[in-house]
Structure 1
């Protein structure tokens, strides 16, 4: 087996384009707890701040995963709607942005999209041939390789964080990354250098002008989805209760033995097949065939 190269290195600016954190000014008050920062904002304000910080870059990243602009926006909105429905959990997560990113990637790479009529046909590729070749190369990678390559060389996560987000071991994530880089370098030799590949991914994601919806629209959409599924669950429960009550009402209350199988009756003589006609019977049959079908002769038989 080929040895896995060392992947730790100094990371350049990434697709997230997150500003470097600045040290907080000293305060005369006592130390603040992590929950104090969360409690300083309302849930709506905290959600809107996370959305404004992550959504634009996340839409561009998801576009590189799928090659579809509308699917990228839909996946990001669905991820943030799920985050809003579970906001107490997401707000206290160690990495809320990572939580939403993982949900968006899972939604974008779902195999069920192939059965949707609107996604059966490919979207127009980028106009630049070089960008088109890079996007086509990314889409030919297996989804797990594509996701690992984007997280490590595009977003700029470390190898342990990439492995955790893709639900793989560190060694498996490293192997996926190596094979993905080899596949890209085989088709585009100028991108064999990881640093060059990183900058090309950043440029490709920045070319497309992809806009995310406004935070209030996403929150309202999540609330509508939550109400719809709540009402659907209530309707299903009522239907199940009604079906159970009807079954209890109409079900038999005592044991009814099954009907026994029929028995053969003994002592009955078998039916005898008719024999040949006698001379008189043949004459009568001929006379009936020759006689008129209508008239008094049919009602008043003549004596023989």
Structure 2
């Protein structure tokens, strides 16, 4: 058996928002490791801390205390330029809202991070990814000429184009119909099995989570349970057992009336920086939003 290597880890990670009596603890001293070549799903109800954990692991936000490591690099010790370089070269992102540049073709969107970074496209790798995703006849199309599923497949190709150490996917099937969602999830699963890609996915969906090797469940900013794989029914059974206050169907339904559910921090607008990485909007502001604001469509900011 090959030795297990760690792609990313959190050590005593804590994140709070606000001050005094208004303080919200999004993460509470979390220890967490992501293993190379593994598909990890992070689950939990709204306010559990799952998206906050992903944003901190990806270097999109800074912890209140604790540390985050990508490989053997403590990213908290990096200056902005070095952190940007690390994100550009070692991390890929897939967002729920696709975040494609509307004026560019599918091909141009896929290679844009490399183009901006001044790196050559590996044609063999490009062709391999495009073939797996079935995008050969869509490369000259612009986003408005593509279906939602096709746009997300373009976003998946973009995330893998720089051969990142780890890909973070934030509700990647949240805006897709069941057929398109299955296509995206099949690709993510295949990228792990055939390309040894490391993937961390935040999701509410038991069916989506069932594609993962490892499931991590959060509640109130803490990891409360883990399990190795499982069918959708098994995932639902786990969710029903550990989240008894939340109605569970195929998706983990968000309980907006539960007073213990705190607002979930989300990035309020992403952009493609000139370094070729997906990062928060220029203000860099990350703050709690209402559920209505979280579900509102978000567009990519390009300049």
Question: Which one has the largest radius of gyration?
Answer: 1
Larger relative helix fraction: 1
The answer, yes or no, to whether TM exceeds 0.5 is: no
TM-score band (shorter)? under 0.3
TM-score by structure 1 length?
A: 0.23
Q: Which has the higher contact order (CA 8 A, sep 6+)?
A: 2
Larger relative strand fraction: 2
TM-score by structure 2 length?
A: 0.24
